[in-house]
Structure 1
Amino acid sequence: MSAPIGRPPGSTNESRTKRKKYVFSKELKQLMYGFGDVPNPSADAVGVMEDMLIEYLTDVCHQASAVSDKRGRVNVEDFKFVLRKDAKKRARIEELLYMNEDIRRAKKLADIPELDNTKSKDKDAS
């Protein structure tokens, strides 16, 4: 059996029994409720949504990998390129990257005074 068109050789749609079940079930239930579903959706509905989500994420990762073939390494720019036509997803990527950098800077600022106090105590002890 060959791989479906648009997928790299060797990849197939694995059945739910062959891979981890319900990796995203908790988050998907909350998302489904947030978008108007019942508070506790059926396991079948969550399973279908999870299958769709995993297939989508896999496809995006394969596309990003194909873009990065010349470099041999996938980076954030490859995902931006793959999602360039979807303005909402592109904006969300930018927002998450900005927040990640903001958090990194805040952690760095929070750690500096602690490091300086430790160094000054070491100097006092000598």
Structure 2
Amino acid sequence: MAEGGTTDLVSVAASQIVQSVQRSPSPFPLSSSQTAASSETPPTKKRKRIFHRELKYMMHGFGDDSSPYEETVDLIEELVVDFITEMTLRAVEVGRSGKITEKDIEFLVRKDPRKLARLEELLQMNEELKIMRKDPKKYAEMMKEKFSS
């Protein structure tokens, strides 16, 4: 799948998470007894399959079967959505304007060298894609210079 399509899905998922947090009825955190009780009860609402198809392709690309078990894809998707949710909530907390910025995400992953390096790589690729869409000739010249060195 194209890089932009996955990025769009992540953006949509993050915005839905932020909106659901903003609509939450209570601004107060759950007590430890409430948290324990809520973790013991099974979820009544099944999550939408936001990344299901893309995860299947990614799993296959990383060596899994071309038709992985649905339970496996569901588990991976749950982990991905939980990670995105946690990062989004933490980014909203550290952000100043109520809007998540690149700097907020960078702050959150600053102590994890692998995540920080990947973030920097993705931001660089994003900038290159913006230039490519805006001016393909300029992009071609940039790539020529980059790989001729």
User: Residue 112 of structure 2: which of 83, 86, 91 is its match?
Assistant: 86
CA distance in 1, matches of 2:31, 2:54: 29
C-alpha RMSD of matched pairs (Å): 3.0
5+ residue gaps, structure 1: 6-11, 112-126
Post-superposition, which runs of at least 4 consecutive aligned residues in structure 1 deviate over 3 A?
2-5, 12-19
Residues 1:100 and 2:117 aligned together: no
Measure how far apart 1:110 and its partner are: 4.5
Residues 1:63 and 2:90 aligned together: yes
CA distance in 2, matches of 1:95, 1:67: 22
Q: Which amino acid aligns with 1:65?
A: V
CA distance in 1, matches of 2:71, 2:44: 12
- 1:34 maps to what in 2? 61
For residues 5-37 of structure 1, the C-alpha deviation after alignment (integer angstroms, 9 at most, x for no partner) is: 7xxxxxx999474432x2111121122223332
Q: Which amino acid aligns with 1:78?
A: D
Q: Give % identity.
A: 34
CA distance in 1, matches of 2:90, 2:134: 34
Name which structure has the greater RCO, CA cutoff 8 Å, separation 6+.
2
TM-score (norm: length of structure 2)? 0.57
- Structure showing greater radius of gyration is 1
Partner SS, residue 40 of structure 1 = coil
Q: 1:16–1:107: structure 2 CA closer, same or farther, 3 Å change rule?
A: farther
CA distance in 2, matches of 1:63, 1:104: 28
CA distance in 2, matches of 1:85, 1:36: 29
CA distance in 2, matches of 1:16, 1:56: 20
